[in-house]
Amino acid sequence: MRITLGVTGGVAAYKSAELVRRLQQEGHSVQVVMTRAACEFVTPLTFAALSGQKVITDLFAKSSTGEANLESAIEHIAVAQRTDLLVVAPATADTLAKFARGLADDFLSTLYLASTAPVIVAPAMNVNMWQHAATQENLAVLKARGVHVVEPNAGYLACGMIGPGRLAELDEILRAVQGVAQAKRDLAGETLLVTAGPTCEDIDPVRYITNRSSGKMGYAVAEAGARRGAKVILITGPTALATPEGVERVDVRTAEEMLAAARKHFPACSLAIFAAAVADYRPAKPASSKIKRSKEALTIRLEPNTDILATLAKEKGERIVVGFAAETEQVAENARKKLAQKNADLVVANDVTAEGAGFDHDTNIVTLFSRDGRDLPLPRMSKAEVAERILDEAVRIRAVLRSKPATHRAGG
Roughly what angle, to the nearest 10 degrees, separates helices 107-114 and 93-101?
A: 40
Q: How many CB atoms lie within 10 A of CB 280?
A: 14
State the Cα torsion 308-350-321-188 to the nearest 10°.
120
If we measure between CA atoms, which residue out of 139, 83, 148, 92 comes closest to residue 116? 83
- Assess whether 39 carries a catalytic annotation: no
Enclosing H/E stretch for 34: strand 29-34
Alpha carbon 207 to chain centroid, angstroms? 37
Q: Which of 39, 159, 200, 269 is catalytic?
A: 159
CA-to-CA distance for 6 and 33, rounded, in angstroms?
Answer: 5
The distance of Cα 87 from the centroid of its chain, to the nearest Å, equals 17
Q: Please check whether residue 111 is in contact with residue 75, taking contact to mean a CB–CB distance below 8 angstroms.
A: no
Please state, in angstroms and rounded to a whole number, the distance separating the CA atoms of residues 22 and 34.
Answer: 18
Strands (E), 94-209: 119-123, 148-149, 153-156, 162-166, 191-196, 201-202, 208-209
Distance (Å, whole) CA 387 – CA 196: 13
Contact 346, 323 (CB under 8 A): yes
DSSP state of 289: S
Q: Which of 138, 158, 139 is nearest to 148 (CA)?
A: 139
Determine the Cα–Cα distance for residues 213 and 275; give it in Å rounded to an integer.
10
CA 126/CA 160 separation, integer angstroms: 9
CB 222 within 8 A of CB 213: no
Report, as residue numbers or ranges, the catalytic residues. 159
